[in-house]
Amino acid sequence: MEFLSSDNVGVLDLATGEVSEDELAEDLVAEKIGGAAINAYLYEQHQDADPVVLGSGLLTGTLVPGTSLGLMSAKSPLTGALCHVPIVQYAGMELKYSGFDYLVLRGKAPEPSLVWIHDGIADVEPAGDLWGQDVWQTVDAIRSNMGDEMIQVLAVGPAAERGSSLAAVMNNFWPGADRFALGKALAERNIKAIAIRGMGLLEVAEDEDFVERCVELLAKVKEGAWAGKQGFADLAEAMGRPEAGGWLQPLIHRSRASFNVPFAYNSFAMIEGDPSVLTEPDIDEPGVLVSDPLGAMALQELGLGAAEAAGLLRDCAKDGLDAANLAALCQAQGKTDAAAISAALADIDGEVAAPSGPFSPWAPAQPLLADFGESGDAWWQRRQAVAYIMGLDPIFALMSPELSEEVLVEMAALGTELDITAETLDQAVSSLLG
């Protein structure tokens, strides 16, 4: 596969550290396009080893607006079925440029390990010293040891090590999009973290036309109803939850976008310090990035104050817990005292409602600040499937009707010179939705 690709599919045996590599076949891309559809294909190919598959969308890391998405696909400990967890913020893009289009992790490492992915190299390195560390300590240690702050770390925390069903994969220091307890799945394989650095290059087939079209698309999407809006509060309002926006807003320090996503929906909540002061605070850990908006809203529904919820989000980020599932469990168990919940984090576990499909309910189940002409679960599932195949941020996908299936197919064909059509996409979506 010559374009939009490293032309490399790796298979890493966690038990031995051996890697085999193969080219990414054009036929496969012409049939499945990419992202979750190819992850699912590889999962089936290696199902005997209960694999974890990492991959990125066909358009991930390009100039097509919103294309930041990587994916981790594996059998969910919650559903027992194949699921796809978005790798968001900057990690998906780094994965795309890491020298692997897809990487299959087979088996189980013999000891606590770090998977280190860079420049087409995938190493299993001992990480016994990281086992027992919280997520933030783990990220700091990996970046310090490897010598680069740009390294993206998908880590699990103590929650995963103790086998919690609430254990999620974190995205560097912050919550990711894992509602399927893949944190637990990684820990079961002795994987403490997956560190990724992407310094590769991608070739684009019709490069000038592709870039020109991307510039047009960016101008067009920026005219969307979300123009001039940003952050948690505007997102909450778009979801019909303005009270949640108002609840957290006094703590919001700044908002930050994921790679190439025009809408900055990640907001930093300052717990200690004055959020109105934009200079770097002296405090080491002043707050938390609210990168899981529904998780924050779930804590609000417990009746917590904004600062209490933000503090709990921070605790969850360190412990590697899914805040939304934690809140659901606390709700069910009648726990509504933030301090008590925080003190008992290690003991809170239980059965949580499993997502109904293969896609993470981290993305709100509705159009956001946009009119797609339809809505509902079937629409959401299809829109997520398209996003997961092409590499579009799953939240931004809900606010950008300009990035229609037709447009994304056009960009895929332009970028690869492959005969990718609406019918191809339809079939790839069907392969995910069944």
Partner 1 sequence: MDLYQPYTARNHGLALVPEPGDRAGGLAPWSGHPRIAVYTGGGSSHSWLWLVEIFERLGFWDLVFADEIDVARGALDQVQVLAVSGGDTFGMARALGPRGAAGLESFLRAGGLYLGSCAGAYLPLNSSKEPLNLFNWVPAKITNLSRHLPRARQMPQKFCTPYGCSYVFHPVREETVLEPTGLAPFGVGQSLRAPLYGGPAMIASGEVEVLATYQGFSERTRFLVDPELARQTLLGRAAVIRSRLGRGCLYLFGPHFEHPGYAEANRLVAEAIYHDLARTGWPGRQAAAAEVPRPLEPGVLRDLRRQVSNARVVALGLEDHPARWRIGRKLYEPAKFRVFCEALWQRLRSRRGALPLAGDPEAVEALTAAWRAIAEGLRALKRELALEQDTQARAEALFSAINRATADFMDIYFRNAYRRLTAPAPFRPDPAPGRRLPTGDRQRRQA
Binding stretches for partner 1 (CB under 8 A): 2-3, 8, 19, 21, 23, 118-121, 123, 144-151, 197, 199, 203-208, 417
Q: How many Cβ atoms from other residues are within 10 Å of residue 375's Cβ?
A: 14
Q: What minimum distance in Å lies between the beta carbon of 141 and partner 1?
A: 12
| Residue 146 or 218 with smaller CB distance to partner 1 | 146
80, 60 contact by CB (below 8 A):
no
Encode 401-424: b = buried (16+ Cβ within 10 Å), e = exposed.
bbbeeebbbbbbbbbbebebeeeb
Q: What minimum distance in Å lies between the beta carbon of 373 and partner 1?
A: 36
Query: Please, what sign has the CA dihedral across residues 419, 392, 174, 319?
Result: negative
Q: Token match 């447009």: residue?
A: 407
| Residue 16 or 333 with smaller CB distance to partner 1 | 16
| Residue 17 or 355 with smaller CB distance to partner 1 | 17
Quote the distance between the C-alpha of residue 142 and its chain's center: 20
- The Cα 31–Cα 45 span in angstroms is 16
Retrieve residue 94's tokens.
Answer: 């780094």
Q: What minimum distance in Å lies between the beta carbon of 199 and partner 1?
A: 6
Q: What minimum distance in Å lies between the beta carbon of 20 and partner 1?
A: 10
105, 115 contact by CB (below 8 A):
yes
- The Cα 170–Cα 183 span in angstroms is 8
Retrieve residue 392's tokens.
Answer: 């579009």
| Cα first-last separation, the chain | 27
Q: What minimum distance in Å lies between the beta carbon of 143 and partner 1?
A: 9
Q: What minimum distance in Å lies between the beta carbon of 138 and partner 1?
A: 17
- CA nearest 288: which of 264, 322, 325, 315? 315
- The Cα 15–Cα 220 span in angstroms is 49
Q: What minimum distance in Å lies between the beta carbon of 17 and partner 1?
A: 11
| Residue 10 or 176 with smaller CB distance to partner 1 | 10
| Residue 2 or 423 with smaller CB distance to partner 1 | 2
| Residue 204 or 297 with smaller CB distance to partner 1 | 204
358, 82 contact by CB (below 8 A):
yes
Q: What minimum distance in Å lies between the beta carbon of 420 and partner 1?
A: 16
| Residue 149 or 351 with smaller CB distance to partner 1 | 149
| Residue 1 or 78 with smaller CB distance to partner 1 | 1
Q: Token match 């600062």: residue?
A: 307
